[in-house]
Structure 1
Amino acid sequence: MGLELPFRLEKIARDSNLAYFLLFVASILLFVTPINGNNPLDVFCPSDKDNYTLGSPFRNNLEQLLGKLASRTAKKGFYSSSAGDGTDQVFGQALCRHDVNRSACGDCVRNASQEIMNKCNRKDADIWYEYCQISYSYSNFFSVINYLGQYPDSNNQTQNVSNPNELSSSLKELMDGLISEATSASSLFAVGSLNFSSQERVYGLVQCTRRISENDCGNCLVQALGDLRSCCSSHQGGTVVSRYCNVRFELYRFYYLHSKGFGKARIILLVIGILAGSLLLSLALGVYVARQRRKRIITGDEERDENVLLQKLPKPIELSISKGDLQCSDDMLVMDLATLRVATANFCVTNKLGQGGFGIIYKGILPGGNEIAVKRLSRKSWQGMEEFKNEITLIAKLKHKNLVRLLGWGMDGHEKLLVYEYMANKSLDVFLSDPVKRSQLDWSARYNIIDGIARGLLYLHEYSVPKIIHRDLKLSNVLLDIDMVAKISDFGMARIFSEKQNVANTRRVVGTFGYMAPEYAMEGQFSAKSDVFSFGVILLEIISGKKNSGFYLTKRASSLLKYAWILWNEGKELEFVDPFLLKSFAPVDVCRTIQIGLLCVQEDPADRPLMTDVVILLESGPAVLSQPKQPAFSVGRDIPLDTLLMPESSCTNDIIASTMSPR
């Protein structure tokens, strides 16, 4: 893709001792780089949060917390902590852009600490500069990741490029690559550029705060990228900032790749570097030796983790095969790494089908000609190990036409691989993102997909033994086979429920912004009703042809759910429908299906139907439907509905209010 990779010397360092010398010198040069950035990009001071007063315990705790941020953030580029206790406790974090030096980082955080108190006296606030950001709150926002994108006023330059369509396409390719790069980097940061014409180039930057997982980082960046393309695709550049991640693009290089123009300071440093060359080489060798020793320790830890995992896997599944052979264990194939390398052309990028939360998925062809999809789990964390175990032990025996079937698995050293049936039409996300493919989905095809997803969820919730809650249902986890049959995939985050269990809680919220039910995103509480919420979001996305994650209408509505709710209340449901469907549906059917979607995304879980009810409603023709209540808007950006009118819907002749209560 031609990405420029800044300060990635740590990768080179694995190949030569000389690189450690270069890395050391580069770090000294970077330390003194003069960088300016004194004006804030944006300040978020929410009006719905309580005020604090001068001299109050909260204010004193805030001052104590902010006082620690500058020096401690400058050391590693990120710092998070809290001050005080009880109702006056303050949680805070500071993050510097990874390509700036320590001095500039410290100066920026000190400036931001003072400015955030000058500009806001709320108990929850964020401030963003070009080189750093600070967030604080009365609540522990480290435990629950809730995306809330902001758009700085600097997003105001209109385009002046030769081919805007090429820019849009190249921007997506560039940013998708940077997101993949950042989520696999310890810094959770990446920059790069890509040509979109013979003389024009687009530059991009993505970064997450350090206290979130690579999966949460990826989800946040995807959400922010959707907002960036929505708000700024017609501009020469754009920035979307949030508490947990930031994205930016420009038509010029705005980030730092190397040091330039140091004048006398640079000359002095170079002289010092030459005179102290032997010392630096000695230090570099010491770093190399320490790194190798640490690598051996980490390798040993990973091997112990994998041994623990193998002990927990079902006994019939064993790694007892020879290279290149296949053995059937119950209904599962066990494959060795060599077989899957051949099948995927050594995991060639041209065979890449997509990327999930914990790994990349590749197309493969077995010696007999059978096509498969191979998920190569990330080596980086135990989360990948947990997903690996979860898929094998939980999902292996599930068989339903609307669930993607796990065919087998393999493990070799650090490699953990899951093998699925191949879906020729990839994901529903691919279809809805591509105008050409989306135009091929008429109302009948979309309705069948909606019904298929509903039936797959119904099986998991009611007929599977044990009962399973998916927890990460979204467009990219709905795959389409050669006949356009919808199949739910990716059960790495799924959880088992006992026969009599209805609700569970978790301290670690996993999932995807835009699809998580509010009770799950805010309180960690999940149930079959949280899957129903995700299904409702997907249903509305299928009908509208728009994604909730990338929806952007400043004056009309701030989310796809709110947009659907407003139009339904105004009796203008047909304005919500994808224009590609205008010649292939009956208005009554679409109005009815939108209403089912709104029933599924109601804020109170008790108001949402179960999947049993949803399947019945989808197939029962002109049956009676209850009136939906306001959807949950709290899981994304919100604009008050001060002037919302409530006229009768244009579909009330066929969809009548009733007292049907979801079970």
Structure 2
Amino acid sequence: MASHHRGRGHLPCYLVPAAALLIAFILTPLSAGDPLGHFCGNSANFTANSTYQTNIRLLHATLPKNASSSPNLFATGTVGTLPDMVYALALCRGDTSAASCGECVATAFQDAQQLCLYNKDATIFYEPCALRFSNQNFLSSTDGGSGSTLILTSSRNASAPAKVFDAAVGALIHATADYAAANSSRRFGTGEVDFGNFDKINPKIYGLAQCTPDMAPDDCRACLQGIIAMMPNYFSGKSGGRVISLRCSYRYEQYPFFNGPSLLQLPEPSPALAPAPANVTPLPARGDSKRNGAARILAITQSIVAAILASIVVCLCLRRKKSKPVQKASVSYPNNPEDTQSIDSLMLDLSALRAATDNFDESNKLGEGGFGMVYKGILPSDEQIAVKRLSQSSRQGIEELKNELVLVAKLQHKNLMRLVGVCLEENEKLLVYEYMPNKSLDTILFDPERSSQLDWGKRFRIVNGIARGLQYLHEDSQLKIIHRDLKASNVLLDSEFIPKISDFGLARLFDSDQSQDVTNRVAGTYGYMAPEYAMRGTYSIKSDVFSFGVLILEIVTGRRNTVAFDSEKSADLLSLVWEHWTKGTIVEIMDLSTTSHSPGDQMLKCIQIGLLCVQEDPADRPLMSVVTVMLSSNTVSLEAPSRPAFCIQK
């Protein structure tokens, strides 16, 4: 059977290896209720009221709800047994609301069955969502080849010079795609590039990239690179365009088409740096020449991005010397000359840091993460330091760096990490902190051999210290700060095991009368995220309280919340603790290395406080000032906690 396909417009459809390719001109604005295009498979048909149709209806009843309730707006499902098994995948755009996601997926099931009547394989794309169901197990592949690919291009040419416009689009494409691939929570990214000097009417270009959240970063990047490689052949000089496949998609326009602020902001491109896409040889259909062509395009674009990043660093260094105020950025932090002076007073010379770390010698490396490496060093004053060296590919960008600088420079508390200095020279981005000889809490707490170092007295002091540090951030400092990424690896321990809250790259400032905010960039660590933040992007001081509650339960039990306890028949730590709490057997899951030398009533109190902090309704969670009173007082009566958020009952 021949495949059927339809989209907005009337250009012919071309078949390419592993997918159908649909090209159309956007003649009118697209409404969310209209399909952008659909594809019907050629595997087989089913009959009315058959078992296969019944299985589709069962997925129709469950998948929209599963997608809308997922933090990633993504769901897969299978129903039935062979040969009538149905596989399905639904993905909503990362800036779509949960309600719109559910409605779109439900509509997609209806329209797909009508447009691909009795066809066992159907794919349909909308503005807010995409859906595929099939009798073939396409879910096992994340290479981007499953389903079909849709290309939509604007009928309007860009008014700016094609050379500069295409170069700016290329830089934005790759930067946004890299951000989406590195964003482990949602595989979603948005960005914009300033273009005012070349086009006064449309001074910016906006981009969006997304993959299905089940893809690994490398798989997501490969999928996006595959569809980006198509763009020079179809979009040169066009004011807008998009490539949509089931596993990944990309779009750019000269108007803001997505909800919320851009997650990336690229500076104005330089005409002298912009290569002409017309000089790039179109990619051959297959073979080594295809890979070489893709490599050339990638190399050109990487050089553009590198030049832009270099410009940013140079500008920052010049601002330091001229003592000019920091320009307003998209992140929320104080923005005045005093902030710049605070940062300038912390500036350190690169040569001094190289000497302190023996030129970042491998023997001085303390650890590494997604941001880069951390090295131990000794300043001429004999002060021990930890140098956080951000890599060029670090997910902590320049805005997060400035955010952390301004915040930490203004915070002074014994339970917050002290910033010693910063260096921005020769393309290096270095943050220098006080040295913590006992490293992070997770390196000891979850190590079977080292956890015995943390007797109950140390653990209780760590809990109290973290609570006081959070209370300072939320209520006692001049700034009202939401940390947004409190976890065991972001609590460092000094030589006396005094805890220090670190890593303020995701932190946000609130006005004194502000209670909450909403973001499209849900960043942090699953297992510590409050439900309202993970699912809707809503964060407040109560989302930090939730993270603190998880941390208390981890400290008392010595168990990670992100590990499934199959042997206990509980899905996660919150479920496990709640199960034993309701049965009155909570002592069974306390860390054995502490139970023989600790007051049981104090441990039980910590468990109860932890459960109060992880309740589903933010209003039910206590303020950190109340938590510190609970911890320090033996006379305050505690309320009975309700079932934790994310608790999975057996």
TM range (shorter): 0.5 to 0.7
CA distance change for structure 1 residues 407 and 621 in 2, over 3 Å: closer, same or farther? Answer: same
Aligned to 1:126: 76
What letter is aligned with 2:309?
A: E
**Letter aligned with residue 640 of structure 1:** Q
Match of 1:620 among 633, 637, 642: 633
Amino acid in the other structure paired with 1:559? D
Other-structure match for 1:216: 183
1:472 to 485, 497, 509: 485
C-alpha distance in structure 1 between counterparts of 2:56 and 2:355, whole Å: 59
CA contact (8 A) 2:440 2:492 kept: yes
Structure 1 residues 285 and 435: alpha-carbon distance in aligned structure 2, compared to 1, 3 A threshold: closer
Corresponding residue of 1:223: none
Rounded to whole Å, the distance in 2 between the matches of 1:73 and 1:344 is: 52
**Conserved 8 A contact 1:518-1:632:** yes
Is this contact kept in 2: 1:144–1:522, CA < 8 A?
Answer: no
Residue 349 of structure 2: aligned partner: 336
Letter in 1 for 2:558: G
CA distance in 2, matches of 1:211, 1:75: 26
2:552/2:610 contact within 8 Å kept: yes
SS of 2:184's partner is helix
Equivalence map 1:216-365=2 (5 Å): 216-217=183-184, 243-245=213-215, 293-307=300-314, 309=316, 332-365=345-378
Shift of the 422–329 alpha-carbon distance from structure 1 to 2, 3 Å rule, reads: same
Aligned partner (choices 82, 90, 111) of residue 137 of structure 1:
90
- Quick one: distance in 1 between partners of 2:433 and 2:387? 6
Matches of 1:560 and 1:219, distance apart in 2? 23
Question: Who is 2:84 aligned against?
Answer: none
Matches within 5 A, 1:153-232: 213=180, 216-217=183-184
Q: Per-residue CA shift, 1:559-615, capped at 9, x if unaligned?
A: 101111111111112112101112111111111110000000000000000000000
Residue in structure 2 matching 1:450, options 454, 457, 463: 463
2:406 counterpart (393, 402, 405): 393
2:516–2:539 CA contact under 8 A, matched in 1? yes
Q: Structure 1 pair 625/90, CA: closer, same or farther in 2 (3 Å)?
A: farther
SS in 1 for 2:545: helix
Q: Give 2:620's match in structure 1, choosing from 591, 596, 607.
A: 607
Sort the Cα spacing of 1:292 and 1:473 in 2 relative to 1 into closer, same or farther, 3 A: closer
2:649 maps to: 640
Which TM-score applies when normalising by structure 1?
0.56
- Secondary structure of the residue that 1:335 maps to in structure 2? coil
In 2: Cα distance, 1:281 partner to 1:243 partner: 30
Separation of aligned partners in 2, 1:72 and 1:381: 35
1:316–1:330 Cα contact (<8 Å) kept: no
The question of whether the paired residues in 1 share the 8 Å contact of 2:313 and 2:425 is answered with no
Cross-structure match for 1:497: 510
Distance 1:126 1:593, change over 3 A: same
1:388 match: secondary structure: helix
1:387–1:422 Cα change, 3 Å: same
Indicate the residue corresponding to 1:581 in structure 2: 594
- Determine if contact 1:91/1:140 at 8 Å carries over to the other structure: no
Change (3 A) 1:219 1:431: farther
Q: Secondary structure at the match of 1:516?
A: coil
Aligned-partner residue type, residue 137 of structure 1: A
Which ranges in structure 2 are unaligned for 5 or more consecutive residues? Answer: 8-12, 22-29, 44-52, 68-74, 79-86, 99-142, 145-175, 188-211, 218-286, 327-340
SS at match of 2:581: helix
Deviations 1:27-78 (A, max 9, x none): xxxxxxxxxxxxxxxxxxxxxxxxxxxxxxxxx999xxxxx9x9698799xx
Q: Deviations over 1:592-643 (max 9, x none)?
A: 110000000000000000000000000011420111111101xxxx6435xx
Does the CA contact (< 8 Å) of 2:343 and 2:406 recur in 1?
Answer: no
Q: Say if 1:621 and 1:144 are closer, same or farther in 2 by CA, change over 3 A.
A: farther
TM-superposed CA distance for 1:451, in Å, is 0.2
* Partner in structure 2 of residue 528 of structure 1: 541
Q: Is the 8 A contact 1:451 1:615 kept in 2?
A: yes
Deviation readout 1:188-244 (Å, 9 max, x if unpaired): 9xxxxxxxxxxxxxxxxxxxx978646533999xxxxxxxxxxxxxxxxxxxxx942
Larger deviation: 331-340 or 537-546?
331-340
For residue 561 of structure 2, give the secondary structure of its aligned residue in structure 1.
Answer: coil
Kept in 2: contact 1:334–1:410 (CA 8 A): yes
Q: Which moved more, 1:520-529 or 1:550-559?
A: 550-559
Please report how far the alpha carbon of residue 306 of structure 1 lies from its aligned counterpart in structure 2 after TM superposition: 3.0
How far apart are 1:427 and its partner, in Å? 0.4
1:212 & 1:554 partners in 2: Cα distance?
Answer: 37
Q: For residue 556 of structure 1, what is the aligned residue in structure 2?
A: 569
Alpha-carbon separation, structure 2, partners of 1:73 and 1:540 = 49
CA distance 1:332–1:528, change in 2 (3 Å)? same
1:340-378 deviations in Å (ceiling 9; x for gaps): 233223333433323344332222222343211111123
Q: Distance in 1 between matches of 2:59 and 2:601?
A: 49
Shift of 1:442: 1.0
Q: Percent identity of the aligned residues?
A: 44
User: Relative to structure 1, is the Cα distance of residues 296 and 71 closer, same or farther in structure 2, using a 3 angstrom cutoff?
Assistant: same
SS of the residue corresponding to residue 481 of structure 2 reads strand
Contact 1:363 1:372 in 2 (8 A): yes
Pick 1 or 2: higher relative contact order, CA cutoff 8 A, min separation 6.
1
User: 1:507-549: CA deviations, max 9, x gaps?
Assistant: 1111101000000001111010000000000000000000001
Give 3-state SS (helix, strand or coil) of 2:500's partner: strand
Q: Which letter does structure 1 place at the counterpart of 2:501?
A: I
Give, in whole Å, the separation in 2 of the partners of 1:564 and 1:292: 51
CA 1:448–1:73: 2 relative to 1, 3 Å = farther
Task: Measure, in 1, the Cα distance between the counterparts of 2:288 and 2:91.
Answer: 48
Asked if 1 retains the 8 angstrom alpha-carbon contact of 2:343 and 2:409, the reply is no
Structure 1 residue identity aligned to 2:76: D
User: Per the alignment, do residues 315 and 523 of structure 1 end up closer, same or farther by CA in structure 2, a change over 3 Å counting?
Assistant: farther
Rounded to whole Å, the distance in 1 between the matches of 2:626 and 2:18 is 52
Cα distance in 1 for residues equivalent to 2:307 and 2:497: 46
How far did 1:379 drift?
A: 1.6
Pairing partner for 1:372 from 385, 388, 395: 385
Residue identity matched to 1:244: D
Question: What pairs up with 1:2-13 in 2 under 5 angstroms?
Answer: none
| Distance of 2:458 and 2:498 partners within structure 1 | 9
- Does the Cα contact within 8 Å between 1:219 and 1:513 map onto a contact in 2? no
Q: How many pairs are equivalent?
A: 423
Q: Residues 529, 283 of structure 1: CA spacing in aligned structure 2 closer, same or farther, 3 A cutoff?
A: closer
Aligned-residue offset at 1:317:
9.4
